[in-house]
Chains A and B, each alone.
Chain A
């Protein structure tokens, strides 16, 4: 089949469906999409919660729990213990299909009734204010922590210990303020680096130890701002850069930023991945328009933050883990043939469903465990199911759901954004494609207004001591004003923050200056070097080279971008 140009229902821009896309749709027997790839991704991102924690009572036991759902969201929320208990069965909420109403309307009416887990917590001990924690211990205000211990204010730490403010990394130990760095030890402000020890302010460095303010280095020691020194010289010079002093941190950060923008960067971070286009692809094969596709992603397209042996799939975000034939899914793992669904594990042949585990042959089901042949949470016989599903698909095409913005949702579209329990600033979309309040509201995504919390500020940022050694124990009793409190901050700024005793102990032990921003503002500062999941056609910025490539660095970014060949000549 030839490629076809269509108009996106959402953004009204033209988009192209390639012949290999048609072949994939034919293989899994779904119609071609009516949204462009970017709007499809945005829609999926709006169906995943990001960094907001709310307190609401469990509808079964009544105990107040911290979870991902705002108290105003009309859903039946259970705490983890009740949700995992055998006191309820999702089939008890099952309903018959009504062929006189749009199917998606019925589906989301059912969603309000079926119990959902307030936050995913599994095998974790002493984890306070954490969302999605698995096999973790003593974590505090962490999101997506897996097999980690004593981590504070971290986002997606995996197999990490004693880390504060360090995100999206594995095998981190004693890291502070790091982003997307793996196998690091005693490091501060390290970004997109690997196997680094005792270093600060690094970007794209591999196997470095005792380095400070360096970019694009490989297996180096005793470097300061990309200049080599002897061990004695390094020890003398590094005394000046005392990380315990906030003024010195700021000075180092400014110098590091200068070097960052003056040093050429590779157009994309693609390692051991033949025939791949996108950014941050490791160990993949034939990945097209994939962003953060890690470890064994093969023959996939439009993938975001997924990996671990994901094969033959399209439009997948936050999923994978030994999965194949996935289309328009978000957060689904260890599954096969899953379409238009979110969440769930170890499933096959599931469509339009959410958070189903160990199940197969489901259509329009929510929170099912160990079930087969169900529609709208109602159990059917295999023969009945096989007759009913084609009928529902036909009904969805004849009587589609039409959103208030006039978007038609026939069979073959992911969940409509109107039904998402999260607004733009609560959802993952805000992290990947930051929009202002006005932009988000104009595009119909909604914005969760912050409730006035009425904190009584007891300490202004200007009153904090410059050096950590001058900080007294009483700081843990203070409510400190965030440095962004008086400015218009769109980064979910909580306006105030506290220093907990474990945190203070860590800062003293590691000689780290006290932070001046609230945890959410600190997170947005760390991800400043991250690219957005969108490709731009650009030319190599080396004067003698005219190579063209697809990069995630947008036209307005200040970085100097080199093609693969020029980058290798200069840095390898």
Chain B
């Protein structure tokens, strides 16, 4: 159990910037859906 949690924490540390990038894109898509290509 502890081993699994450790693995998950290590993965999360590495993937945090990648997840942030993905979330940023999702926000961009949300903006695009709402306002089109306007800034």
Contact = CB atoms under 8 A, between A and B. Distances in A.
Task: Please say whether chains A and B are actual partners in one complex.
Answer: yes
Contacts of A561: none
Contact of A309 (B10, B21, B28): B10
A295 B25 CA distance: 19
B32 A197 contact: yes
Contacts of A231: 37
A62 to B, nearest CB: 35
A322 B10 contact: yes
A424 to B, nearest CB: 35
Contacts of A334: 7
Contacts of B22: 159, 170-171, 183
Nearest to B13: A309
Nearest to B11: A322
B37 A309 contact: no
A346 B4 contact: yes
Interface residues of A, number: 21
B3 interface: yes
B7 A295 contact: no
Contact of A197 (B11, B18, B21, B28): B28
A198 interface: yes
Interface string A224-248: 0000000100000000000000000
A171 B26 contact: yes
B25 A346 contact: no
A308 interface: yes
A295 B37 contact: no
B14 interface: yes
Contact of B32 (A170, A171, A183, A198): A198
A185 B32 CA distance: 10
A346 B3 CA distance: 9
B11 A309 contact: yes
Given A295-B18, A322-B11, 5 more contacts: A195-B25, A197-B28, A308-B11, A322-B7, A346-B4
Interface of A: 159, 170-171, 173, 183, 185, 195, 197-198, 209-210, 221, 231, 295-296, 308-309, 321-322, 334, 346
29 contacts: A171-B22, A171-B25, A171-B26, A173-B29, A183-B21, A183-B22, A183-B25, A185-B25, A185-B32, A197-B28, A197-B29, A197-B32, A198-B32, A209-B37, A221-B37, A231-B37, A295-B15, A296-B14, A308-B11, A308-B14, A308-B15, A309-B10, A309-B14, A321-B11, A322-B10, A322-B11, A346-B3, A346-B4, A346-B7
Closest 6 CB pairs between A and B? A183-B25, A185-B29, A171-B22, A322-B7, A334-B7, A197-B32
